[in-house]
Structure 1
Amino acid sequence: MNVLLSLAFVLCWSSGFIGAKLGAGSASAITVLMWRFLPLAVVLVAVAVVARGAWRGLTARDLTRQAVVGLLSQSGYLLSVYHAIQLGVSSGTTALIDGVQPLVAGALAGPLLGQYVSGRQWVGLVLGLSGVTVVTLADAAAGAGVPWWAYAVPLLGMFSLVAATFLDSRSRPRVAPPVSLTVHCATSAVLFSALAVGAGAAAPPAEGGFWLAVVWLVVLSTFGGYGLYWLLLKRSGVTAVNTLMFLMAPVTAVWGALMFGEPFGVRTALGLAVCLLAVVIVGRGEGGRDRSAAAARGTREDGRRRRSDSPEHARR
């Protein structure tokens, strides 16, 4: 089941880059982002008013934490990616910078969450970064004339998503995915609407391509990619889910080749193969760690049973 969910997640998350390109020809990024979230937030809030069961027991602190997670994971991440591309940073270079995310998440998962990364998983993580580099290296060389500080913008977005991931993972009690999605989208809708109105870019164009891009982004990117991200995070853990990010740049290249006729050469195919191998290695490392943890738990339980059955314990 997790394999199918992971496959759907990779396809849906990578579709966001395609949706952004679909809308880029008819409106500014901030306009696309506003209309991506505003109608969706209205629908989700209306559903929440009717189905209030999932909201019971949540405090103002829980909702505030989710609002912060939404600002980091949606608003901060998307705004930085779109802004970097507007500044001239290519999508390939942005994908390369985002490709560092699994390494950052893996390094922090141990001290922050107690989810330590095994040696095999570290090999997979580094291999995955190599695959992303193979796919995007040629594209990164085309960034002449871009100000040096522009490359820090997608880096901030990467850290923003990582911070949101750890903040949500440390949340207690756990918030149901429909609730978190509603809060995140409502928060992003407020922020992007304020930015669009302030920039005089709130009015949507009448072109059909713009609304096609909005529907694409809502259905595939938000419900599919974003929703599955948090679902898999709860089922598989930080390291396993973030490793799937290695596949985004190569899979986006496949999307671009199929939909826009963009070149898909030997280097891209090689990078995709390397990234797939990295995901397999990390996945096996995760399974081995789970088996070791289960064996350790079993050993401790056997020890407790032997102690409880011993004559000394019976006399006590």
Structure 2
Amino acid sequence: MPSSTQDNAWLRAMPWVFVLIWSTGFIVARYGMPHAPPMKFLAVRYALSIACFLPWILIAGVKWPTSRAQWFHLAVTGVLMHAGYLGGVWAAVKAGMGSGLSSLIVGLQPVLTAIWLSGTGSKVSGRQWLGLLMGFAGLVLVVSRKFGAGGPGDQANWLNLSFAVMALMAITVGTLYQKRFVAACDVRTANAVQLLAALLVTLPLTLLEAERMDWNGELIGAMAWSVLGLTLGGSSLLYLLIQRGAAASVTSLMYLVPPCTALIAWVLFAEPITAVTLAGTALTAFGVALVVRTGR
């Protein structure tokens, strides 16, 4: 009985742990991006993450996917949700887009997911539509103070806008694809296959980057957290959440990432928290609650 209670408590906590971990992505970018080009950083991140998963898989005796179809579906989601999403976001930031604008663009994912689901016959209730719109409105309030704050280096152009939209489409399609085609399997082997596919796609792109990685304390710290926290922790939780929950409910959690990022930046970098930020955070949280709340 205690074990069952603990399991239920962990299942309830999973979404909020995921949001907290995922929110550190832009914090890592702030530390790491000045010292490394995006594709080289991500290629090293994927390789180190695979190196962490393999001993874990061998020691635990976990079975790998048994069918070619399962390997293929996992590889597709790896290319979309790792190479496509992360590559797009990091390339957009490197090309001069600010974190506020990139967060807002990627934050359109829950709305796109809901539109796709309604178009394919899956039911998105009126309450969930209201929650999605409220969450997006709160997201706009949270990031609105950042528009133009970075001067010329925080502007949108066709290049960084293309990267951000690519990231948005990759995470949206990847989430829907995984929910539809990827059968339940161990999260460790699933992540290893996804990361291997992402690495194979990313490695050729590193040849296009002339900039070299400047290994220092900030870059090492950013890499360590990217591997241990974001990939082993955050990506594994996202995989489990998609397997366990409805797509619209899971993706609505992404609305909470920018407000949580703002709070982390306030703690670490003393970035100001305004009344508008607090109002947007509250509106977003209420909107997400409407989406994920189960009916009677």
TM-score bracket, normalised by the shorter chain, equals 0.7 to 0.9
Counterpart CA distance in 1 for 2:258 and 2:43 is 25
Counterpart CA distance in 1 for 2:193 and 2:49 is 11
1:72 CA drift (Å)? 0.3
Counterpart CA distance in 1 for 2:222 and 2:161 is 26
Is 1:59 the counterpart of 2:59 in the alignment?
no
Is 1:78 the counterpart of 2:119 in the alignment?
no
User: Aligned residue for 2:49?
Assistant: 40
8 and 172 in structure 1: CA distance in 2 versus 1, 3 angstrom threshold: closer
SS of equivalent residue, structure 1 residue 281: helix
1:139 CA drift (Å)? 2.0
Is 1:22 the counterpart of 2:34 in the alignment?
no
User: Aligned residue for 2:147?
Assistant: 140
User: Aligned residue for 1:193?
Assistant: 203
- Given that 2:35 and 2:213 are in contact with CA atoms closer than 8 Å, whether structure 1 keeps it comes out as no
Q: What does 1:93-242 correspond to in 2, within 5 Å?
A: 93-112=101-120, 115-142=122-149, 146-148=156-158, 150-171=160-181, 173-201=183-211, 204-242=213-251
Counterpart CA distance in 2 for 1:12 and 1:223 is 10
User: What is the RMSD of the two structures over their aligned residues, measured on CA atoms?
Assistant: 2.1
Q: Deviations over 1:259-289 (max 9, x none)?
A: 11222211111111111111111122xx11x
- Given that 1:87 and 1:146 are in contact with CA atoms closer than 8 Å, whether structure 2 keeps it comes out as no
Counterpart CA distance in 1 for 2:136 and 2:112 is 11
230 and 259 in structure 1: CA distance in 2 versus 1, 3 angstrom threshold: same
1:238 CA drift (Å)? 0.7
75 and 4 in structure 1: CA distance in 2 versus 1, 3 angstrom threshold: same
Q: Deviations over 1:206-242 (max 9, x none)?
A: 3122111111111221122211111111122211111
Range moving further from structure 2, 77-86 or 43-52: 43-52
Q: Which has the greater radius of gyration?
A: 1
- Given that 1:36 and 1:218 are in contact with CA atoms closer than 8 Å, whether structure 2 keeps it comes out as yes
User: Aligned residue for 1:8?
Assistant: 17
206 and 240 in structure 1: CA distance in 2 versus 1, 3 angstrom threshold: same
SS of equivalent residue, structure 2 residue 35: coil
Q: What does 1:220-299 correspond to in 2, within 5 Å?
A: 220-284=229-293, 287-288=294-295, 291=296
Q: Deviations over 1:169-188 (max 9, x none)?
A: 11254333222101111222
SS of equivalent residue, structure 1 residue 140: coil
Q: Deviations over 1:125-151 (max 9, x none)?
A: 000000001111232345765424532
| Gap regions ≥5 residues in structure 1 | 292-316
Range moving further from structure 2, 261-270 or 184-193: 184-193
172 and 191 in structure 1: CA distance in 2 versus 1, 3 angstrom threshold: closer
- Given that 2:83 and 2:201 are in contact with CA atoms closer than 8 Å, whether structure 1 keeps it comes out as yes
Counterpart CA distance in 2 for 1:220 and 1:236 is 22
Counterpart CA distance in 2 for 1:178 and 1:128 is 32
- Given that 1:34 and 1:192 are in contact with CA atoms closer than 8 Å, whether structure 2 keeps it comes out as yes
AA of the residue aligned to 2:68: A
Q: Percent same amino acid among aligned pairs?
A: 28
1:198 CA drift (Å)? 4.5
Q: Could you tell me the TM-score, scaled by structure 1's length?
A: 0.83
1:204 CA drift (Å)? 4.1
